[in-house]
Chain A
Amino acid sequence: DAGITQSPRHKVTETGTPVTLRCHQTENHRYMYWYRQDPGHGLRLIHYSYGVKDTDKGEVSDGYSVSRSKTEDFLLTLESATSSQTSVYFCAISNGQPEAFFGQGTRLTVV
């Protein structure tokens, strides 16, 4: 596996609470991404980052924010979790080589 660590791996939270997921890489890759995976949808891009403090929205960004204060860390925050955000979240990294590499995923359940 590429050096990508997601934390936590599993989380159950209540509706309305803020939640932060962390993606940590040891590869010094410039690009980082957050995707969510839901049955019938494949993976969908939430937010991505071109570098430190340089982020942009993906196709399903509503209700999410991100921050990247260091090359190695990309944080995804659910500002006020809703049941529709129950999903598996994957972080991915790329250094400009053809493919991106994915982390192990975080399973988030909002009750």
Chain B
Amino acid sequence: ELKVEQNPLFLSMQEGKNYTIYCNYSTTSDRLYWYRQDPGKSLESLFVLLSNGAVKQEGRLMASLDTKARLSTLHITAAVHDLSATYFCAVDRGTYKYIFGTGTRLKVLA
């Protein structure tokens, strides 16, 4: 059974600080996705990682994938308040059937 674990579940950080969210999964997969969700809203696609060693960056966020370690990271650089949201990783079981992590609720304090 494919399981996806994210940590931490909650993260409160000061503006300007760096931090990393981790996403571990239990079986082989070459496709991993990161989504952002604001309260009461839909999920917004952030990154699509399709191969071992893939690294994607957008603004203050950078995502990477190590398929051998079954680990993806979402690194936040110099956090700002606008990054406050819940972040989900999701692993593709095939045909875009996703197994989601439980999410990391990020709060950036001014």
Chain A residues with CB under 8 Å of chain B are 1, 31, 33, 35, 40-45, 48, 50, 58-59, 90, 92, 94, 96, 98-105
Contact = CB atoms under 8 A, between A and B. Distances in A.
B12 interface: no
Interface in B79-110: 88, 90, 95-103
Contacts of B48: 98-99
Given A1-B42, A42-B88, A101-B45, A48 B97 contact: yes
Given A98-B48, A99-B33, A43 B97 contact: no
Contacts of B42: 1, 90, 102-105
B68 interface: no
Contact of A42 (B33, B97, B103): B103
Contacts, number: 53
B102 A42 contact: yes
Nearest to B31: A98
Given A33-B97, A99-B96, A105-B41, 7 more contacts: A41-B102, A43-B43, A43-B98, A43-B100, A50-B95, A58-B97, A104-B42
Given A50-B95, A98-B31, A42 B50 contact: no
Given A99-B45, A102-B43, A105-B42, A33 B88 contact: no
B38 to A, nearest CB: 12
A104 B42 CA distance: 5
B96 A90 contact: no
A33 to B, nearest CB: 7
B50 A98 contact: yes
16 contacts: A31-B96, A40-B102, A41-B102, A42-B102, A43-B90, A45-B99, A48-B95, A50-B95, A58-B97, A59-B99, A90-B42, A90-B43, A98-B48, A99-B48, A100-B96, A105-B41
